[in-house]
Amino acid sequence: MSPPTLGQRLRVVTFNIRHGRGRSGVVDLGRTADTLTALGADVVCLQEVDRHFSERSDWADQATELAERLGMAAAYGVALRRAAVDAGRPARDYGNALLTRSPVRGYRVVALPGRPRSEPRSMLIAESVNGLHVACVHLQHDSTAARAEQIAVIVRELPPDVPVVLAGDFNATPDAPELSVLRERFVDCWQRSGRGRGATFPSRFPLRRIDYVMASAGLRPVAAVVVPTDTSDHRPLVVDLVVDQT
């Protein structure tokens, strides 16, 4: 993998799209695409993305459809897989997606530990995005202990010697003790370059900051903004990074 270019600027977005379901309850992936287009990102980390999952999203491959609408490359990471409804049809998937302006040269999916009978969780790691590793995650919503176990796996799986962006819906507020492990290695980009509380959930009247972009050494956050939208129950977080060490 070629290293990133010194001084290179990269816009990263993380957004839990709730399979395109807006506050009105209507699923409209075109509206999701319009929201993302307006953000002008180089890298987009998405959570709660359906792929042939069910009628709720019209059986769409949402990652591919969004990538085509935005003119970006896509990688998909399954968190939950169910059997196809009929022979000859694809499996029904739900998980994370990564959209990038540059080609994704390699990626892998890491299953994350969780509570029995709870929603499965995973991490999607793209291994060459503008010379960076980018990881997209969606952590447990109802268990501090489960999140701590998931974070331990995340830290173990991400390489320590290359620039890494870690983004997603962490389902934890900044004071959550389990996040301290991540802060030993990553900068919380909102904390470094955002203004105000940075709350992202719920989208109508945000009360909690639970969506994050974190950057490893060599990546400097220079701007961060949370964008109002009714496209999902979360608001997207936009972060501009500069490579200041290779």
- Phi and psi (nearest 5°) for 124? -100, 120
Burial readout 23-56 (b: 16 or more C-beta within 10 A, e: otherwise): eeeebebebbbebbeebebbbbbbbbbbbbbeee
Class of domain 9-220 (CATH, top level): alpha beta
Whether 238 contacts 11, CB under 8 Å: yes
Per domain, the residue ranges of the chain are: 9-220
- According to DSSP, the β-strands at 9-16 and 43-51 are parallel
Give the Å distances, CA to CA, from 203 to 32, 42, 211, 226. Answer: 14, 23, 12, 10
Distances (CA, A) of 245 to 6, 22, 69, 216: 6, 39, 33, 10
pLDDT tens-digit profile, the chain (246 residues): 466 788 889 999 999 999 888 888 888 999 999 999 999 999 999 999 987 765 665 667 889 999 999 999 999 998 766 656 676 676 678 899 999 998 888 999 999 998 888 889 999 999 877 778 999 999 999 999 999 999 999 999 999 988 999 999 999 999 999 999 999 999 999 999 999 999 999 999 999 999 999 999 999 999 999 999 999 999 999 999 999 876
Quickly tell me which residue has 């389990």 as its tokens. Answer: 178
